[in-house]
Amino acid sequence: MDCEHTGRLAAWLDGELTAAETAALDAHVAQCSACRERAVLLRRTYAALEMLEPVEVPEGLAARVRARTRRRLHKAPVYVAGALAAAAVFLMALTLRSPAVDPGRHVTASTAATSSVRLAAYYDVALEEVRMLEDMQLLHEYDVLADLELLAIYDMLLDMDEFTGVMSI
């Protein structure tokens, strides 16, 4: 039978209660068989975790991570033409819903970046949330975005202050 205090036993065992709470629960556990039984089970399960072997980091992991990170992020410019076009279509699909956008207007690098700001304003969300689009369900359902590398292209779009090309939509 569960006692109303069993939910606090984990914090009690972890030493995360205040001194007063700990003293109170000490006194309670001494008198409550349900809590004592539960505490024994919790201690045994924590002891069971000690049976797990230490995790051994594979040799050379850091070097592989560094190399692959550089390859993933630095090869993004190779896809500028096609990937920017795809990303631009994606942004266009969103921005054309905004009454402030003129479809016939040439979109420059700076205005494409500004589109993120307008998106945020239009949808009344924080700019940071727009920049977290990689976590949106929309992206998971958008086939071309199944490739996480395209998300690196999206980062480039956000950094388009350095890009001087002009796109025409």
Interacting residue with other proteins among 92, 120, 152, 167 (CB under 8 A): 152
Determine if 19 is a binding residue for other proteins (CB under 8 A): no
Least separation, in Å, of the C-beta of 140 and other proteins?
7
H helix or E strand, kind and range, residue 70: helix 61-74
Contact between residue 119 and residue 112 where contact means Cβ atoms under 8 Å apart: no
Give residues 114-143 in contact with other proteins (rule: CB under 8 A).
128, 135, 140
Determine if 41 is a binding residue for other proteins (CB under 8 A): yes
Quick one: 85 or 148, whose CB is closer to other proteins? 148
Which residue stretch of 25-33, 64-72, 92-100, 107-115 sits at the interface with other proteins (rule: CB under 8 A)?
64-72
Which residue stretch of 66-74, 84-92, 98-106, 160-168 sits at the interface with other proteins (rule: CB under 8 A)?
66-74
Burial class (CB in 10 A: 0-12, 13-18, 19+), 107: buried
DSSP per residue, 112-163: HHHHHHHHHHHTT--HHHHHTGGGSHHHHHSGGGGSTHHHHHHHHHHTGGG-
CA atoms 24, 2, 37, 39: torsion sign: negative
* Chain contacts with other proteins (rule: CB under 8 A): 7-11, 14, 16, 41-42, 44-46, 48-49, 51-53, 55-58, 61-62, 64-66, 68-70, 72-73, 128, 135, 140, 148, 152, 155
